[in-house]
């Protein structure tokens, strides 16, 4: 891998990330700790939106047009255990598709920077 290659490129671009996102949401919807947050969500739209967001977060093109993290999670009152469950499911989805642990750690570090914008809103 080239030293300056983004994780987005390394993972195979948006097509692969979409598969990871699908698996990620399959895991979330099977988890009673967090699935209730998605009861009234258009999951097809959510999956597309999340694919664009994660693609951008991993160094891909900025196609993300959603609101801020704080605005997107307003009224949900997400707690640390919910954030941890989501991170665990993202880890599991990335691992499922053969992403190596150092790359997963780098991805989760990026996700962790959003924690304060997501919790307790």
Residues in the annotated binding site? 49, 73
Question: Would you list which residues are annotated within the binding site for heme?
Answer: 49, 73
78 forms bridges with which residues in the sheet? 119
DSSP secondary structure, 62-82, as one string: -------HHHHTTT--B-HHH
Please choose, from the candidates 119, 11, 21, 80, the residue with its C-alpha nearest in 3D space to the C-alpha of residue 29: 21
């Amino acid at each position: 891998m080239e030293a300056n290659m983004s994780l987005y490129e390394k993972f195979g671009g948006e097509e692969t990330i979409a598969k990871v996102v699908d698996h990620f949401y399959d895991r979330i919807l099977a988890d009673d700790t967090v699935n209730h947050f998605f009861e009234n969500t258009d999951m097809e739209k959510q999956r597309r939106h999340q694919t664009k967001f994660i693609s951008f977060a991993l160094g891909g093109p900025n196609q993300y047009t959603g609101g801020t993290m704080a605005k997107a999670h307003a009224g949900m009152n997400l707690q640390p255990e919910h954030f941890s469950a989501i991170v665990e499911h993202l880890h599991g989805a990335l691992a499922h598709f053969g992403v190596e642990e150092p790359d997963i750690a780098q991805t989760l570090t990026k996700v962790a920077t959003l924690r304060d914008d997501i919790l307790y809103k």
